[in-house]
Amino acid sequence: MADFYRDTTGAARSPAGATHFLTGDLATNDLTGIWDGEYTWRLGPTDALLMNGTTDELQASLDAAKTQGITYILIPGDDMVFWYFRRRVWTTGGPISKTVASLASLSQYWGLGVNDPRQQPYPGGGWYTLWDATASSIDVWDLAYNVLERARGVNPWY
């Protein structure tokens, strides 16, 4: 089951912070639980959409969100970047790998310039580029099957 969290304070910029919020009581298993109800979901310039799950879990959750009405995610007036880290989770069936992904404003959330979207916000902090380009919006289907698909099979490092 995938987990989602909308960070409005910047407290989830580190992998430890992101993991804390995504595995805690403030996370939701249904993206529509933090959605503003619009066809195009506009994230605030200082917001980040965080998600946690296996690639299949994330894709299924984003498919369900699209069925419920979320078509695009937009950050007005800034470049959206897609960063991730992979983490190992121990289950009763043994270890599995999950992706933690962040969609956020490059300049407002991360405080970085447009000249290098692959710059790490924390030295050795564990976030890596999931998508090689910046965009101001993304279709939910593209996010699920073009962006998040890139993390499939990558070994965890966090």
Percent above pLDDT 90 for the chain: 61
Nearest residue to 79 via CA among 48, 100, 102, 108: 108
Query: How many whole angstroms separate alpha carbon 20 and alpha carbon 11?
Result: 10
Query: Is residue 142 predicted with pLDDT exceeding 90?
Result: yes
More confident residue, 131 or 96: 96
pLDDT at 126: 82
Read off the pLDDT band of 144 (50, 70, 90). very high
Query: Is residue 9 predicted with pLDDT exceeding 50?
Result: yes
Query: How many whole angstroms separate alpha carbon 56 and alpha carbon 158?
Result: 20
Give the total residue count for the chain: 158
Non-local CB neighbours of 18 within 8 Å, separated by 6+ positions: 5, 7, 12, 50, 52, 85, 100, 102
**Residue for token digits 């030295």?**
123
Q: Give the DSSP per-residue string, 62-109.
A: HHHHHHTT--EEE-TTS-EEEEEEEEEEEETTEEEEEEEEEEEETTTT
149 φ, ψ (degrees, to nearest 5): -60, -25
